[in-house]
Amino acid sequence: MGETCGAVTGALMVIGLKYGRFKQEDKEAQKKTYDFAGQFVERFKSRSGGSILCRDLLGMDIKAPGAVKIAKEKCPRYIKDAVEILEEMI
């Protein structure tokens, strides 16, 4: 769809599962999760040229002709970046 990169979305899900709150009243877990998510996004942006949006990372709309080919070339880098950042953080 060209919105948030799938590698970023997956990483944020991991952060949520690891640090997220399981009880509504656990505000400390919520704060920790938001802090970690924010740190992840900033670190990812610093590696990716300032964006977490698929269309920005690919340099084109995912629906454009040839976009799938470009994605197959570029996406592995972003997946690797997301995994490396997560490994460093957790």
Average pLDDT over residues 22-35: 88
Name the DSSP class of 26: -
Residues of the chain with pLDDT > 70: what percent? 100
pLDDT per residue over 61-73, tens digit each?
988 999 999 999 9
Q: Is the pLDDT of residue 6 over 90?
A: yes
pLDDT per residue over 31-60, tens digit each?
999 999 999 999 999 999 999 999 999 999
For residue 28, the one-letter residue type is: E
Separation of CA 11 from chain center = 5
Cα distances from 87 to residues 6, 55, 61, 81, 82, in angstroms, run: 17, 25, 30, 10, 9
Average pLDDT over residues 69-88: 96
Q: What's 33-76 look like in SS3?
A: HHHHHHHHHHHHHHHHCCCCEHHHHHCCCCCCCCHHHHHHHHHH
Return the bridge partners of 53, or none.
Answer: 4
